[in-house]
Amino acid sequence: MKLNWFGNKQNHMLLKLVVAILLMGFAFRLVFFRSTTVSPILEQTPIARKSVVPNPNPSPNPNPNPKTVSPILEETNISQKSVVPIPIPIPIPNPNPNPNPNPPPPVHVQVQGNEDQVPPKENFEEKCDLLTGDWIPNPSGPTYTNQSCSLIESHQNCIDNGRPDTGYLYWRWNPRDCALPPFDPERFLEMMRNKTWALIGDSISRNHVQSLLCMLSQVEQAVQVYHDEDYRSKRWQFPSYNFSISVIWSPFLVKADIFEDFNGVSTSEVELYLDKLDKKWTDQYQNLDYMIISSGKWFLKTAIYHENDTVLGCHYCPKRNLTELGFDFAYRKSLRFVLDFIVSSNHKGLIFFRTSTPDHFENGEWSNGGNCLRKSPVKEGEMELKDLNRILRKVELEEFEKAALKASENGVNLKLLDLTMLSLLRPDGHPGPYREFYPYAKDKNATVQNDCLHWCLPGPIDYWNDVIMEMVVNG
């Protein structure tokens, strides 16, 4: 009996062991099976992968059907270049995932065409337009004063002549699309070592050369080494740099007999020779490294026109029995002759052709009581060129365009210095009545000649030099 009971007991234990093993195997398989399957709900949910940082500023129009990264791709060596990880709203693949475990938030970009294609150079470098801009406040003011520069002529020395307002001194020219460095007199002089400059034209050129000399005098005082009989043409030297600057009086650029005093009072018509260049500048031309050539305003004066030793006609000569040809006829013919000479000259320096600058006479003109009483710059569109200035400018731009093509073919470095519109915005920068010393000292109601053509020094004309230096340095 004991033996049978013992045998039965062993059979029961064996049976329990088998059942336990079977239960454990079933449980193990159940756990393993669940760990390797993904819930259908999870498969339909766009889960952000661990290596992707969501965009903290999502697009206002996100993709309604973003793609997800397949688990298979994560567990194999298949390239992910064709996969767009969510939720980054970039319509192209990312071929180089950021290995940084804390990458920066993705950037929304728009790419056209092949992402590996380098955009053309023109997309990165746009030519700077120095001459389109605005006059903006400049609290630091001018770099020189009428006290620090002794080269300012009396008609442009507005402060010394008693102009009471000074707001016109605190503006600077600011191109809209690029930075314009201020004129650097020391660098300019270093660049011009052993060089020669000349400003060729009328009294605006003389006005301009004073501005340039005053700015350079911060480094070294210029020494005057020449003047003509009327003190209209002059030359200065900077001894430490062996650098010279001249102003050459040639208001028409072609030969002219002028019967006019320093205040513009004429005793006879100008005799203008349209086919003969003025030797005052052509005799020095090949010895000059840099030139700024300009004309314009003097062609508005009464004149008799000559060509081939014959009188062709005139401009505004009612007392003469001559054909009225108009100032634009003479200006175009003269300017074309001058520019043809330049582009055919084989000159190896740099030549600027400066456009004529506008006057700002209001309520009249120079000869009939015109004045310029404004105290601040104007914005673009607030002031238009006068008809006469518009005609001059049209001739200048058309003739320069023709000449520039020939200059390029002949290797002559001819550049346009178009300062007309920049200057138009500064009606406040002229001497007005303060071309004379304290004009109202004896009579506050005195009738005074106003100058609304030339520029106070210091004044807006100083910023022409910023533009010129940038064109010289960077082309």
Active site residues: 203, 451, 454
Q: Give me the DSSP letters along 381-425.
A: TSS---HHHHHHHHHHHHHHHHHHHHHHHHT-EEEEE--HHHHHT
Tell me whether strands 243-249 and 196-201 are parallel, antiparallel or unpaired. parallel
- Beta-carbon contacts of 32 under 8 Å, excluding residues fewer than 6 positions away, are none
CB 146 within 8 A of CB 457: yes
Q: Hey, what amino acid is at 261?
A: D
In degrees and rounded to multiples of 5, residue 207 shows phi and psi of -60, -45
467 vs 448: CA distance, rounded Å: 34
290 vs 349: CA distance, rounded Å: 6
80 vs 52: CA distance, rounded Å: 13
352 vs 291: CA distance, rounded Å: 6
Nearest Cα to Cα of residue 79 among 91, 94, 65: 94
CA distances from 199 to 117, 169, 231 (A): 49, 24, 15
Q: How many residues does the chain have?
A: 475
